[in-house]
Every structure is written in structure tokens, then in C-alpha cells.
Chain A
């Protein structure tokens, strides 16, 4: 059910982001979604790719610090209030969203948003109980 995201530590030096994307490109790895969170000194690049293991090992070989985290891909109806309803549901269940970002591809009529929760399982249960669709990892990587 869960989706694996890889995160990479980068210093805010120019060219680092391009370096990573070209390393992955050369290795034939497809980036399905990407988000960069940064401070004045460093950044964390978060990626959903089609081949996590390969991406992780190839980046480690090149000296990057990489880890894997479980995130949740949620289908968000593409209409006003779609996202608001989801956030409200989470809020009333007292579930924290650490961060979120959009997935490139759509799933039919719906947008896909990647969520990082502090309590992943509880979040999944809550969302499903409220009729909100969650995308399976295997399906997502192939999208």
C-alpha cells in the first residue's frame, strides 16, 4: 500500500540538482515525482522513481547520502475543495502532515498528492475510512 520515497541530502551548491538528475537519467531511472525542500545551507531532495533500489545504490556509489522513507500517495478529486476535504479529515483525526507535494501524472480524473505523515498507518486507515482513495506503490512507480 505504501509508497517508498528516496531522499538525498544536498548542499546548496549550484549544479548539484542537475548532477543527480543526470546520474539517474544515465542509469535509465525514471523520476516520477520530485520535491526539493531547502534552507539557506542545505536541501533535501525527495524523489519517487521507478527503481528505488537501483537509484539508491547508484547515488550512494557517487557519494550521496540517501535514505528511504514511506510516504502515501493519495488521489485527490480535481474539483474545488478536493484537497481541503482531505486535509480536514486528517486534521480532525489529529494526524500531522510533515510535508506534501504533487505527483506529475494524473490518475484518471484525479490528481495525485504525495503525503509524508508522522503516523503513516493511522493516516492510511483514516483516509480509507473516509472513502479517500490511496494509490498502491507498485501501480504508482509504473504510472
Chain B
């Protein structure tokens, strides 16, 4: 179900000409109003007027998180403070947070995009949305809240914390939609089980999860334990907040990024050059409608790829694949860029191999070496040396064939590689030690 059919299904050519018009407009605005952009464009020798087509976007310099910190708090705002109606900030782990400001129009657009996102997840007027994203400086709570109201659904602004009470309310109020982080949903499931509450007896039908990395395996676990469809949503406060991109419930195969407001690019994080269509790289986003703090070619550090093929749902907006890590995780091994997530997907493709692995990168003489450690579990183990050696050879071959990198597979004892969702150490780079 569409929320805004005209824009969501806009033919590609019309969408691109809308993007160009909006891009040219935002470039004029930031050049006129934000000294940072005036300087960086001047330095790069490009004027807003030089951007004649979407391809010219590549000639513009990037904006980074550091640029936002350097402009703390309001230096990148393109609208006067009198026009700003809301201020959010990201919780930076070090030092000052990054600050974003929204004009009334920005809030209006955000609400629309979040309502679109809800609709894409199969949510509609009449649904009861249990919004357990935190309300506050973090964009999650209010972003989802405004979108829910825009859609016309009933929103319960429960925010985070007090899980027992959350479960009681979800049950008593008949919530049909849950919005929170994926790990919190599993925590809820555990608490509910401890309380003797069965999620299957609830009215909950869909969960919209974001704000932290998660995996396909985790999706299956959530869907089974909560008896819902689990949908992946993407957003970051610098760009807007939740609702930048979302999976449609029809496909659950990549997240539609709302291209009438954002232009996505995928670049090689080392060279800054765009990668070939469909290849993995760092997501760069240009906001083309924002007024408060438009960002030009913002480097998200998130690793994904663009899916431009048409989607079964009929939306014409490109999709980004489920995030597969941060660009800071990228390894360069003998000149080849390798993301740990690429190796992970090769490994899980081999029957019996679990997604617990460790990459050890070293340098012998002048040559980089890569060792891929894989646990030998019951289903891989054999009493015959040659069977295990064949497994090692197969891992080495598949990695070589897919990524072009030579490695040695090392079989290690079961449960000896560190576990934990999202933050497990996957790489030991001895070259840096």
C-alpha cells in the first residue's frame, strides 16, 4: 500500500529530472548560506551553476561527520535559527554531538517520509503503533511518532525502558505494530517468556527495526519469537532520522531509499570514486529538499550496495541492501578491498559453516596475508583428515573466486571465536599492531 503513490511510483525519468531540479536548488542555497560549502566548492573549483546533470554530482566534495563536529553547533545550518523549529543531536561516543536543525517544512517532509515508510511496511490507519524508540535528542522516537500521526495510525509514545510494563501495555492496548531496535525486540521476547506471556496471543503483526546493525539470522529469530513480520528501516540523524529508507513488506529484499528527497551514491571509501553498479561500498547521501541542514555528499560510513532493478511492490525508488558493516571495517589486502561482511556471506553459503569467523591479517615480508578462521562444529567435523582439508580448500577457493584474494583457511575448535551480535571482533589486523 502506498502513502503517496504519485511520488513512490514516479517513472525513473521523471524522478531523475525532479532530483536534478532539487539538487540544483539545494546547491544554490548552501552556496549562498553556508560558508563551509562556499569554501569547499570554491576549493574544488565548482559552482552550483556547473551542475548541469546528475552525473555532475560526483564533482562535488564530500561532507563528513568531522565537518559537522567542526561546525558545532549550528555552523552547517542553511536556514536562520528563527526558521528552525526542532533541534536533535546524535549521541557521539566521543566529544561533542553532531547537531541537526529542522524547519517546519523539514518536519513536514520527515513526517511524510516516515508515513510512507510505515505504509511500505504494511501499516495503515487503524493500526496501533507501539513506539519504543527513545524520545529525546535521538531522532528515533519523535521521527516515528510524527510519521505514525501523519499516517493516521494510533501511536503509543511509550519510549524505551520498563519492559514489563511495555509488554502489559502491548497486550492490553492491542498494539499491532512495534517500533524499536532489533535487539530490544528480542529482549522483550525473553522478558515476555519469563512472564509467561505468549507473543503469539498478541495482535502484533509487524515490527519495524533499525538504529543498529542486524542480520538475516536475527530477522528469522525475531519473526519466530514475536510471531510478526520484521522490517528493516534505515535512517541517520545527520540525514534526517528514521525513514530515509525502508524495506517493503512485499519483497523484504533491500530498503527503498526515498529518491525524491535523497540521492544515494556508493563509493570506494579509499579512493572516493563511485563503484560499478551493484558493487559494495560506502553509502553517500545528498539531501535535496532539506532546509535546516542540507548535506551534500555526506559520507555515512555505512557499507551497502545499490539495487536498481525494479521491485515487485511497484515503487520505483532504488533500494540499498541490508547494511553490511562500516567503511572503517574495510581491509585492503594486497591492494584488494575486502569487507568482512563479504567473507561472512561466502562462509554462510557453505553448508554447515556458522557465521562465527575471525580474519587475521598480517604481513610476511612485503606480502599481506589473510587467515580465515572457521569453527569446526558437529556438522563439519569428520574423523578423516582429507574431509576437513577439503573444507579448508573449498573456503580458500570460494574466497579467491569471489573476492580475488588469496587466503588460508584455518579450522579451529568449536565455540572458540568470540560471539555477540553486531560488535563481535571479526578482524585482527596485525599490520597495525
Contact = CB atoms under 8 A, between A and B. Distances in A.
B88 interface: no
A11 B385 contact: no
A125 interface: no
A109 interface: no
The A contact surface, by secondary structure, is strand
A124 B60 CA distance: 76
Interface string A63-97: 11111010000000000000000000000000000
Interface residues of B, number: 17
A65 B413 CA distance: 7
Contacts, number: 54
A10 interface: yes
A9 B381 contact: yes
Contacts of B377: 65
Interface residues of A, number: 21
A53 interface: no
B383 interface: yes
Contact of A63 (B383, B389, B415): B415
A31 B33 CA distance: 81
Nearest to A5: B383
Contacts of A64: 413-414
Contacts of A140: none
Contacts of B85: none
Interface string B361-402: 000000000000000111001111100110000000000000
Contacts of B389: 39
Interface in A54-70: 63-67, 69
B413 A44 contact: no
Nearest to A39: B385
B412 A44 contact: no
Contacts of A46: 383
Interface of A: 5, 7, 9-11, 37-39, 41-42, 44, 46, 63-67, 69, 98-99, 116
Interface of B: 376-378, 381-385, 388-389, 410-416
29 contacts: A5-B383, A7-B381, A7-B382, A9-B388, A9-B414, A10-B413, A11-B411, A11-B416, A37-B385, A38-B385, A39-B389, A42-B376, A42-B388, A42-B411, A42-B412, A44-B383, A46-B383, A63-B413, A64-B414, A65-B377, A65-B381, A65-B413, A65-B414, A66-B378, A66-B381, A67-B378, A67-B382, A67-B383, A99-B384
Given A44-B385, A67-B381, 17 more contacts: A7-B382, A9-B388, A9-B411, A10-B413, A11-B411, A37-B385, A39-B385, A44-B383, A44-B388, A65-B376, A65-B378, A65-B381, A66-B381, A67-B378, A67-B383, A69-B383, A98-B384
